[in-house]
Amino acid sequence: MSTYATLHAEGNQDSVIPVGKRLPLGWKALPIGGVAKDCVRLSLGRAVMKQPAWLRVTVALDVREAVRIEVLSAVSETVLGELDIRYASVFQPFQLWLSAAQAERLSYEGVLLRLRQGSSPIWVFIEGPSEAPLLLPHLRAEAVGEERMDPWEVMPQFLATLSSLQPFGWLEGCVLDGLLDLERSRGGGRFREAAEAHLRMFFDEQGSLHYENPRSEPVDGAVYGIEGTLPFAALAQLYPQHPAIEQAIAFWLSEASEDGTIRDGTMLSAEGSYTIAYPMAIMAKLYHRQDLVRLAIQQLKIRKELLFHGNDLYLRYHEDGSRSFRNWSRAYAWYMLGLARTLRELRKFRELTKLPKEMHPASVSDLEQELARIAQIAINHQSEQGLWYVFVDEPHTRIETSGSAAIAAALAIGVELGILSGNALDASLRARQALSAYFTTDGILQGVAQNNKGGEELQRGGYRIMSQMATGLAAQLDSALQRAMNKTSQQEPLPEP
């Protein structure tokens, strides 16, 4: 794995965090911009970098606008480039390529980070644990023409560190599921240990939860919304008696309507297939809870009924009957991945045949047929490259890797379960092969469309990031394919990129 040359940061230490916001985990950060036009200066110390390198910084507070940070040499103020940061979440890293000459100039002068576009200061991490070097300002040397290692071997090394941390919620849940899947497929204990280390960042010794919601507002001891329950799937598997488990269950029960449907406010979203139904199924299996089986099945059934118009899948169904984000790749991702993972857990539920009529295995059979149906639709939309577009039926929106990884993972799980056949396995293998070109040399998946808080306009604009969340989805794909190939008696290793 590539090494990180950590940069020392200087800035306005007297800056005050915006009212109602909080930096995560007690880490330190500095602002760039604002009324005082604060800059952050980064320096390498006595070391000298004479190779091309990536300059990286990581966002520390939620960003709700498009921001540009100008990067200048600190003495001569030569412009080295810009960081294009749009609608970023906490723990998102951003990078700027420096030539060998620029990296050497940084070594001698340091660099200034100055806000060029943006109405509010943007906060970046400057101090944190040494086990999370990606998330601190650093240079990562990369020799041009250097032979790349197999990205599917580098990726697990990266994921099994604190550098893959994400905000507690759906983002971190994707990483945790990836880690536990890697533990099942590769073993050795390190992926389980990494997942446990991640959870220790958010839970204290008494089991109390400490974290911020997607707007960087403290929500200690509470569940912020439907997307916030995904990490409880990993928590329940690792610590079945953890006191916080009951918080998630109580949240679901309090949010369920008379028919058991759980919405995001007044909106029904595809995310719930993964962030609600799947952890519910995990807990139903662990705690023999028939009520949670019923609720998990209902989340999938109602989304099947309301999120489709013909063969078009929408991310959201609104109270007025309208729908939005038609055929968005991550709508497919959450719908399919939640459906596949939930079905896998329901098959393990020993008391399934004793359930009331509305929860009878016939309901599960209907959901299996739904996975087969949506799988074929997704396969029909797969590009020649083997991946899916941001909006799967609109090639001009370009390839999107996180949705592609999740769709392919769901296909592989379907093959493992015997619900899907060889064409799904072939599609999943093609996606894995195509994704190989999108990893950084230190194992992070790039080519990811930003979170949807910027609306459809941002999704259609071609903007891409690197993402720990997406890397977790890639890990889920890798593990699911291994199990699927074992299931189909194809014992040969997965093809090299």
> What is the DSSP track for 250-269?
HHHHHH--TTS---BTTBEE
Q: Is residue 497 situated within a structural domain?
A: no
- Reported as a pLDDT band with limits 50, 70 and 90, residue 492 is low
Average pLDDT over residues 216-230: 98
The more confident residue out of 14 and 8 is 8
Of 118, 141, 164, the position where a domain reaches its end is: 141
Whether residue 180 sits in one domain with residue 78: no
Report the domain count for the chain: 2
Please check whether residues 218 and 115 belong to one and the same domain.
Answer: no
Asked if 131 and 188 sit in the same domain, the reply is no
Task: Give which of 308, 313, 323, 325 is closest to 451, Cα–Cα.
Answer: 325
Closest CA to 59 of 39, 98, 87, 82: 87
Are 133 and 168 members of one domain? no
Q: Please check whether residue 496 lies inside any domain of the structure.
A: no
CATH of the domain at 92: 2.60.120
281 closest CA partner among 359, 213, 358: 359
Q: pLDDT for 335-390, tens place per residue?
A: 999 999 999 999 887 666 666 666 666 688 999 999 999 999 999 999 999 999 99
pLDDT recorded at residue 350: 65
In angstroms, the CA 44 to CA 55 distance is 11
In the prediction, which pLDDT does 1 show?
40
Alpha carbons 154 and 390: distance in angstroms, whole number: 26
Answer yes or no: is pLDDT of 326 > 90: yes
CATH of residue 199: 1.50.10.10
Q: Indicate if 219 and 314 belong to the same structural domain.
A: yes
Quote the Cα angle for 149-153-158, to 5°: 100
Residues 361 and 428 placed together within one structural domain of the fold: yes
Residue 274 per-residue DSSP state: I
Q: Tell whether 160 and 200 lie within a shared domain.
A: yes
Are 133 and 185 within one domain? no
Question: Does residue 322 come out as left (phi exceeding 0), alpha (psi in the -120 to 50 range) or beta?
Answer: beta
Report the pLDDT value the prediction gives residue 35, as an integer from 0 to 100: 76
Q: Which domain holds residue 325?
A: 151-487
106 in the same domain as 247: no
Cα separation, 33 vs 86, whole angstroms: 15
Does 483 share its domain with 341? yes
User: pTM (2 decimals)?
Assistant: 0.96
SS3 20: coil
% of the chain beyond a pLDDT of 70:
94
189 and 69, same structural domain?
A: no
Q: Which of 141, 168, 185 is the last residue of a domain?
A: 141
Residues 106 and 220 in one domain: no
